Structure 1
Amino acid sequence: MADPTTVDRLLPGDHVCWTFDDHERHLRALVRFLRKGLEHHQKVLYFTDTFLPPAFLAAAQAYGAEVRQPLHAGQLHVTTAEESFLSGGSFEPERALNGWTAAIDQARTEGYAGLRVAADMGWTVRPLVDMDELTWYEAQANQIFSAGYAMALCCYDRRLFTHAELERISAAHPGAARAGAGSDEEWDPLLRIRRTPDGLSLDGAADRTNHDALAAVLGPLAAEVTSGAPVVIDVAGLAFADVAAARLLAGVVAAGRGRVLLRGPRPALTELLALVDSLHAPRASRDRIQAAEGTPA
C-alpha cells in the first residue's frame, strides 16, 4: 500500500486516489492528514467506512492529534457514508457534487484557510452503487477541487476492488498513490490541475492513469469563452503528455475557435500537438497553439 507519509505531500487543489490494504497504516495516514489540516487552520472532514467515528477519534487522540477542541469548534467533522454519500438512501452523483460546493462555501464563510477531506470509499462496492456513476462523479469532482481551495484524499481498500476497477477509478483522479508510493522516495500526485484567473494550469504528467480527470476539466473550457480575454491553458509545467492527452488539448483549442490558447508548451509537447492537430483538428487550431507560446505569463 502507499506509505502513510505520502499524505504529507498533498496541497490544496489535489484530488488523489489513495489505496490501502492495511487498516493500521491507513489509520496512521488519516491521522497525519487530519493533524496537518488542523494545524493549518483548515476545516477537516472525514467520511469513514472503515472505522466507527468514536473509535477513529479515540485512536487519533492516542496518536497525538488533539481532536476534542476542533470537534467542539466545528473545525473537524467525522461521519459515516450512510450520513453523507448515502444519506438519501442511494448514491446520487450530482447531489454529492453539490454537497462539495456547499461545503467549500461554508468553510470559506467560516473563515478557514481551506477544506481538507478524507473519504473511505469502501461503501461503493455495495449493489446500490454503479461503477460508471462512481467514476463519472470522481472525474467531475476535479472541476471543484481544481479551484485550489479544497483537497480530497479518496481512500480505496485494494482488497475490495478488482485491478480493472482500480484502474478506472484512478484515471478519474489527477494522481494516485498505489502500492509502494512514497516508501523510499518522494511522491507527488502525477498531475496537478489548477484553475487560474485566465483559465487553467497543468503541472506534472498527463497519461492514461489520469485521462478521465483531465478530460472532465478540459471539456467545459470552450464553453467559458466570452467576448473578453481568451481562456489560457498554461502547460509550461506539463513535463509529459501522451497522445490521448495531446488530443484532449488540441480538441479544446479547436473547440474554442481561437479563444482558447495554450501557453508555454515544451518542444516535445509542441511537436506532439502539431502531429495530432494535423491528423484530427482544423489547421487554424495549430496557429492558436503556436501563438500562445509567445503569450506573456
Structure 2
Amino acid sequence: MAHPTTVDHLLPGDHVCWTFDDHERHLAALVRFLRGGLARGEQVLYFTDTFLPDAFLAAAQAYGVEVREPQRTGQLQVTTAEESYLAGGAFEAERALDGWRAAIARARGQGYSALRVAADMGWTVRATPGIKRLAWYEAQANRIFAGGYAMALCCYDRRLFTSAELDHISAAHPATARAGAGAHEEWAPMLRLRRGSEGLKLAGAADRSNSEALAGVLHDLVADARLLSDGALPLVVDLAELTFADAAIARLLVGAVAATPGRLLLRGARPALAEQLAVIDPGQARAACSSGSPA
C-alpha cells in the first residue's frame, strides 16, 4: 500500500487516488492527514466507509490528535458514505459535484484556509444505482479542485478492485499513490492542475495514467474560452512546469487549442514537448515555446 507519509505532501488543489490494503496503515495515514489539516487551520471532512465514525475519532484521539474541540466548532466533520455520497439512496454524480462546490463556499465563508477531504471509496463496489458514472465523476471533480482551495484524498482498498478497475479510476485523478509509493523515496503528486483567471497551469507529468483528469479540466477551459468576448485576452495553458507529456497528451492539448481559435493558447513548452507538438501542428509548437503569463 502507499506509505502513510505520502499524505504529508498534498496541497490545496490536489486530487489523489490513494490505494491501501491494510487498515492499520490506512488509519495512520488518515490521522496524519487530519492532523495536518487541523494544524493549518483547514476544515477537515472525512467520509468513512472503513471505520465507524466514533471508532475513528477515538483512534485519532489515541494517536494524540485533539478532535473534540474541532468537532464542536465544525472544523472536523466525520460522516459515512450513506450520509454523504449516498444520501439520496443512489449515487448522483451531479449532486455530488454540487456538494463539493457548496462545501467549498461554506469553508471559505467560515474563514478556513482550505478544505481538506478524505473519502473511503469502498462503497463503490456495492450494487448502487448510478455507480457506473464514478470515473466520470472523479474526472469532473478536477474542475473544482483545480481552483486550488480544496484537496481530496480518495482512498481505494486494493483488495476490493481489479487492476483494470483501479487503472480506470486512477486515470481520472491527476495523481495516484499506489502500493509502495513513498516507501523507498519521497513521493509527490505526479501532476498538479491549477486553474486561475488567466487559464490553467500544469506542473509535473501527464500521460495515460492521468489523462482523463486533464481532459476534464481542459474541457471546462475550452468552454470558458468559447465564452470570451471579442477582443478579450485569450486564456493560457502554462506548460513551463510540465516536465513530461506523452503523445496522447500532446494531441489533447493541440485539440483544445484547435477547438477555440485565438481564444486559448499554449505557452512555455519544454523542448521535448515542443517536438511532439511540432509533429501534430508546427504552428502551434512555435507558439507554445514562447513565454507567457502563468495561469
Q: Which moved more, 1:252-261 or 1:20-29?
A: 252-261
2:263 matched to which residue of 1?
259
Given residue 221 of structure 1, which amino acid in structure 2 is its aligned partner? L
CA distance in 1, matches of 2:27, 2:129: 25
SS at match of 2:82: coil
CA distance in 2, matches of 1:261, 1:149: 25
CA distance in 1, matches of 2:126, 2:209: 25
Matches within 5 A, 1:145-224: 145-224=145-224
CA distance in 1, matches of 2:58, 2:203: 38
Given residue 238 of structure 1, which amino acid in structure 2 is its aligned partner? L
Q: Do the aligned partners of 2:274 and 2:289 also contact (CA within 8 Å) in 1?
A: no
Matched, 1:231 2:227: no
Change (3 A) 1:129 1:213: farther
CA distance in 1, matches of 2:131, 2:241: 32
2:47 matched to which residue of 1?
47
Deviation at 1:184, TM superposition (A): 1.4
Aligned with residue 290 of structure 2, among 281, 287, 294: 294
Q: Do the aligned partners of 1:201 and 1:233 also contact (CA within 8 Å) in 2?
A: yes
CA distance in 1, matches of 2:98, 2:220: 17
Given residue 256 of structure 1, which amino acid in structure 2 is its aligned partner? T
Change (3 A) 1:19 1:169: same
1:247 matched to which residue of 2?
251
**Deviations 1:239-287 (Å, cap 9, x if unpaired)?**
110111111100001111022111100011011011123xxxxxxxx43
Q: Do the aligned partners of 2:173 and 2:210 also contact (CA within 8 Å) in 1?
A: yes
Q: Which moved more, 1:121-130 or 1:34-43?
A: 121-130
Given residue 45 of structure 1, which amino acid in structure 2 is its aligned partner? L
CA distance in 1, matches of 2:94, 2:264: 28
**Deviations 1:133-156 (Å, cap 9, x if unpaired)?**
000000000000000000000000
- Normalising by structure 2, what TM-score? 0.96
Q: Do the aligned partners of 1:258 and 1:288 also contact (CA within 8 Å) in 2?
A: no
Displaced runs of 4+ in structure 1, greater than 6 A? none
2:15 matched to which residue of 1?
15
Q: Do the aligned partners of 1:260 and 1:288 also contact (CA within 8 Å) in 2?
A: no
Pairs aligned (count): 289
Deviation at 1:296, TM superposition (A): 3.5
Q: Do the aligned partners of 1:261 and 1:289 also contact (CA within 8 Å) in 2?
A: no
**Deviations 1:57-108 (Å, cap 9, x if unpaired)?**
0000000111000000110000000000000000000000000000000000
CA distance in 2, matches of 1:247, 1:129: 35
CA distance in 1, matches of 2:129, 2:68: 34
1:280 matched to which residue of 2?
none
CA distance in 2, matches of 1:88, 1:52: 20
SS at match of 1:220: helix
1:34 matched to which residue of 2?
34
Q: Which moved more, 1:142-151 or 1:211-220?
A: 211-220
Mark the runs of 5 or more structure 2 residues left unpaired by the alignment. none
- Normalising by structure 1, what TM-score? 0.95
Given residue 164 of structure 2, which amino acid in structure 1 is its aligned partner? A
Deviation at 1:205, TM superposition (A): 0.5
**Deviations 1:210-251 (Å, cap 9, x if unpaired)?**
010010011122221213110100001011101111111000
Given residue 224 of structure 1, which amino acid in structure 2 is its aligned partner? D
CA distance in 2, matches of 1:272, 1:47: 42
- State percent identity of aligned pairs: 68
Q: Do the aligned partners of 2:121 and 2:155 also contact (CA within 8 Å) in 1?
A: yes
SS at match of 1:16: strand
